[in-house]
């Protein structure tokens, strides 16, 4: 015997204003009550007359909803009888859960590329809310959202009026070629510049285009895990190269690699600046067409103590250097824009790879960025952030030296958005980081950025994204943890 459920109307809430009609709302709410098992199999719903009166709607509204759900198999409705639920929602959920668990346990056979990415220990996972002093971030709270929104709106309206165009927008390519030439001494024509959704996308494209299984790739040690992961996934044999005061060292004893990845403006993570002499040595040792160099200038806009050293790309006369940049640090990471300045000989190949992988940025966002830069908003924002981040770097250094000078030795970077504080007395960093994260200070262990066996122990601390009061509070918390 079907059981009458007098509470159905209490489970339904219909909105009289807003876009969705009453029939659609009622149908979807009843469907969801049945699918989740709140209205179990065999339950009799109130008659259409009763439910219409309980909900204060017309009887037709309820009849249409019942008819739709009967057509979908959720209800059995016959004339003069109350409709009865035909589906066991709880049982279906249980079955779906069991099926998903079974599928998860089956472990599909992955390609070598995907299997290597699973083991990469990257991207780093920070759980929950953003907390001080998470590294790798600029201060998105300071971003001029209103100005950016106006550029976006204008470009979206213009986009609606024009023909579909090339994936790498000419206006942004030209704007970037000019900006990079004047600010970073990058020498490239506009058609060498590819606009991508991120710097990581550029690394993925380079790896897919140039790396064959077994190729040797040098990366900095400690270094940026995203780069090692991208090249390793393509089958590269990765060698971590130690740093000295001038940055990555040249290893004449090792066979010349296929590719060298470096962050010469501010080495990731130490922030060290590669000297001009070292840049020249690397170029001299890289035979054109044999060894490629990837110069990742992820936060090169932020220099505080001296004029920046010219980009390696601009010093190269033989088209050996890829120059990679991103707007993730200088603007906001969720804008999803980066770029790649490619050696002229590889532009066509990379553009085909770009089309096949779909690593294409939305054209109205590219146009908005071109306007944002051309109208001077980008440089104005950079000037303001440079002043702000400079003060924040100094503040973090002072606070660390004052409260934690006994246990930490701070390396002051000449620019960038983060710094390394090494642990004194041979302390291991992983346990310290665990304690700090639990106390609300998000830092990353230097040893987790090692390529081989970790030799350096310390903390990677972001300063750019955090106000001086937040930095002070975080350092006090750190002091209480040591």
Ligand X SMILES: Cc1ncc(COP(=O)(O)O)c(C=O)c1O
Which positions lie near ligand X, rule CB under 6 A? Answer: 136, 198-200, 224, 226, 263, 268, 296, 298, 326, 328, 333, 338
Contacts 24+ apart (CB under 8 A), 75-84: 75/34, 75/45, 82/2, 82/4, 82/44, 82/45, 82/46, 82/47, 83/44, 83/45, 84/2, 84/42, 84/43, 84/44, 84/45
Name the burial class of residue 50, with classes exposed (0-12), middle (13-18) and buried (19+) by CB atoms within 10 angstroms of its CB: middle
Helices (H), 318-376: 347-357, 363-374
Crossing angle between the packed helical segments 377-404 and 468-481, to the nearest 10 degrees: 30
**What's the CA gap between 113 and 98, in Å, rounded?**
29
In three-state secondary structure terms, 391 is helix
Q: Strands 418-423, 216-221: parallel, antiparallel or unpaired by DSSP?
A: unpaired
Neighbouring C-alpha atoms within 13 Å toward the C-beta of 381: 25
**Six-digit token string for 147:** 């100005």
Cβ neighbourhood burial of 331 (10 Å; 0-12, 13-18, 19+): buried
Per-residue tokens: 329? 């640090």
By the 8 A CB rule, do 111 and 450 touch?
no
Buried b or exposed e, range 79-113, using 16+ CB within 10 angstroms: eeebbbbbbebeeeeeeeeeeeeeeeeeeeeeeee
């Amino acid at each position: 015997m079907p059981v009458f459920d007098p509470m159905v109307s209490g489970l339904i809430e219909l909105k009289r204003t807003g876009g969705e009609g009453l029939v659609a709302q009622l149908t979807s709410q009843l469907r969801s009550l049945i699918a989740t098992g709140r209205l179990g199999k065999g339950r009799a719903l109130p008659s259409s007359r009763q439910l219409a009166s309980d909900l204060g709607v017309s009887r037709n509204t309820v009849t249409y909803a019942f008819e739709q759900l009967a057509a979908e198999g959720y209800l059995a409705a016959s004339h003069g009888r109350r409709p009865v639920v035909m589906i066991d929602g709880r049982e279906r959920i249980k079955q779906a859960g069991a099926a998903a668990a079974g599928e998860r346990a089956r472990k599909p056979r992955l390609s070598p590329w995907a299997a290597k990415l699973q083991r990469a220990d990257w991207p780093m996972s920070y759980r929950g809310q953003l907390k001080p002093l998470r590294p790798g971030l600029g201060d998105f709270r300071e971003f001029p959202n209103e100005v950016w929104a106006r550029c976006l709106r204008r470009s979206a309206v213009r986009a609606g009026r024009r023909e579909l165009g090339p994936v790498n927008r000419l206006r942004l390519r030209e704007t970037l070629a000019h900006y990079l030439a004047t600010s970073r001494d990058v020498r490239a024509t506009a058609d060498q510049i590819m606009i991508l959704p991120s710097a990581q996308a550029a690394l993925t494209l380079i790896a897919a285009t140039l790396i064959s299984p077994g190729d040797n790739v040098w990366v900095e040690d400690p270094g940026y895990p995203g780069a090692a992961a991208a090249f390793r996934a393509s089958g590269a044999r990765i060698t971590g190269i130690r740093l000295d005061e001038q940055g990555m060292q040249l290893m004449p004893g090792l066979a010349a690699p296929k590719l060298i990845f470096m962050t010469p403006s501010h080495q990731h993570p130490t922030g060290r600046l590669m000297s001009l002499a070292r840049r020249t040595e690397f170029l001299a040792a890289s035979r054109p067409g044999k060894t490629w160099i990837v110069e990742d200038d992820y936060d090169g806009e932020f220099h505080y103590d001296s004029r920046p050293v010219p980009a390696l790309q601009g010093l190269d006369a033989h088209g050996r250097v890829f120059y990679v940049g991103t707007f993730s640090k200088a603007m906001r990471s969720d804008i999803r824009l980066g770029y790649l300045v490619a050696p002229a000989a590889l532009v066509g190949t990379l553009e085909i790879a770009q089309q096949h992988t779909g690593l294409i940025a939305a054209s109205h966002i590219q146009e908005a960025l071109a306007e944002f830069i051309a109208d001077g908003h980008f440089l104005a924002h950079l000037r303001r952030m440079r002043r702000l981040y400079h003060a924040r770097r100094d503040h973090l250094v002072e606070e660390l030296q004052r409260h934690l000078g006994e246990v930490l030795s701070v390396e002051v970077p000449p620019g960038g958005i983060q710094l390394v504080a090494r642990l004194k007395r041979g302390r291991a960093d992983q346990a310290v980081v665990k304690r700090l994260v639990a106390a609300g200070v998000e830092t990353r262990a230097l040893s987790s950025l090692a390529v081989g066996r970790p030799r350096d122990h310390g903390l990677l601390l972001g300063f750019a994204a955090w106000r001086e009061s937040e930095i002070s509070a975080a350092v006090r918390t750190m002091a209480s943890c040591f």
